[in-house]
A and B are shown apart, each in its own frame.
Chain A
Amino acid sequence: MSRSMSSACRQWLDPISQYVDGELEEELCEALEAHLQHCPDCRLYLDTLAKTVRIVRASLREVPIELPSDLQERILRRVREAKSK
């Protein structure tokens, strides 16, 4: 089942992102934790946002990529040309 978030809870969206990173200032952190105690929607948002960050990190960070053929050589050629000028 899916619901939509109330407009009153939207003020917590940015602090929740900082909370996930452990970067929320102490006073706001205490206020958010007090709010989370009685707000299932914000608890759900926190849980799914933290999962999003974990999925992104595990999925997109180490995607192997091949450089286009001879790109490295072309870069070196340009650098050497610049050096010889």
Chain B
Amino acid sequence: MPGQEGGMAAADDQTFVAVIQEYAPRLYRHLLRLLQDPQDAEDALQETFLKAYQHLGDFRGQARLSTWLYRIATNEALMQLRRKNPTIFSLEALQGDDAYPDEILLNQWQILPEQAALSAEMRQVLERAVQRLSPALRVVFLLRDVEGFSTRETAEILGISSDAVKTRLSRARLRLREALARYFQGSASQRSEAAL
């Protein structure tokens, strides 16, 4: 969980270098997942720190530094996505592709979550499922479940209501759950076939 507290209004060069060193890797990872293109993520990261530096005077410490930086980075990424996709997606209103799927799989998972999470294959399944989310679902899911911001902080970063965050998160989690359900179903069938 990102966590540096306090104001930076009087930050000098050295402080800003420390901020870049602490936050650049995790912001880059966030931007890469959001934009799915290394060059776009790099450009967005540069813009993020440039804007942060230019607006240091606006940061008064009411928000956590991490929330402030993620807001700048996420807005930068959303601007890039909107530039690429002329049909601008709305973060507030749900859209057609964010509805529940027709079928929701109900199979038992005989797994220990923390153990399952250690598998590289599992991570790939999850990363692919995240990539398939619509940008509006993906951004909420990444901020809440991956970066660990609260509902209120996510709403603040995106400038939407907490209710919209909760709904989008639910729809995104359902899709991740479906990807895992299919994966576990496949693994179970393979185990049964191997046992025959």
Contacts and interface: CB of A to CB of B under 8 A. Distances in A.
A49 B42 contact: no
A73 B167 CA distance: 40
B16 interface: yes
Nearest to A24: B166
B107 A2 contact: yes
B46 A18 contact: no
Contacts of A76: 17, 20
Contact of B126 (A18, A55, A78): A55
Q: How large is the interface on B (under 10, 10 to 19, 20 to 34, 35 or more residues)?
A: 35 or more
Interface in A34-85: 41, 44-45, 47-49, 51-61, 63, 65-68, 71-72, 74-76, 78-79, 82-83
A29 to B, nearest CB: 14
A14 to B, nearest CB: 4
B177 A49 contact: yes
Interface string B86-130: 000000000000001001111111010110111000110011001
B190 interface: no
Contact of B24 (A5, A51, A67): A67
B117 A48 contact: no
Contact of A54 (B103, B106, B114, B166): B114
B193 to A, nearest CB: 16
Q: How large is the interface on A (under 10, 10 to 19, 20 to 34, 35 or more residues)?
A: 35 or more
Contacts of A2: 105-107, 181, 185
A79 B170 CA distance: 39
A21 B165 CA distance: 13
Contact of B113 (A4, A13, A54, A63): A54
A20 to B, nearest CB: 8
A66 B126 CA distance: 20
A71 B106 contact: no
B54 A82 contact: yes
Given A52-B180, A68-B38, 13 more contacts: A2-B106, A10-B100, A10-B104, A13-B170, A17-B166, A17-B169, A44-B106, A48-B177, A52-B176, A56-B145, A59-B122, A65-B28, A76-B20
Interface of A: 1-5, 10, 13-14, 16-18, 21, 23, 41, 44-45, 47-49, 51-61, 63, 65-68, 71-72, 74-76, 78-79, 82-83
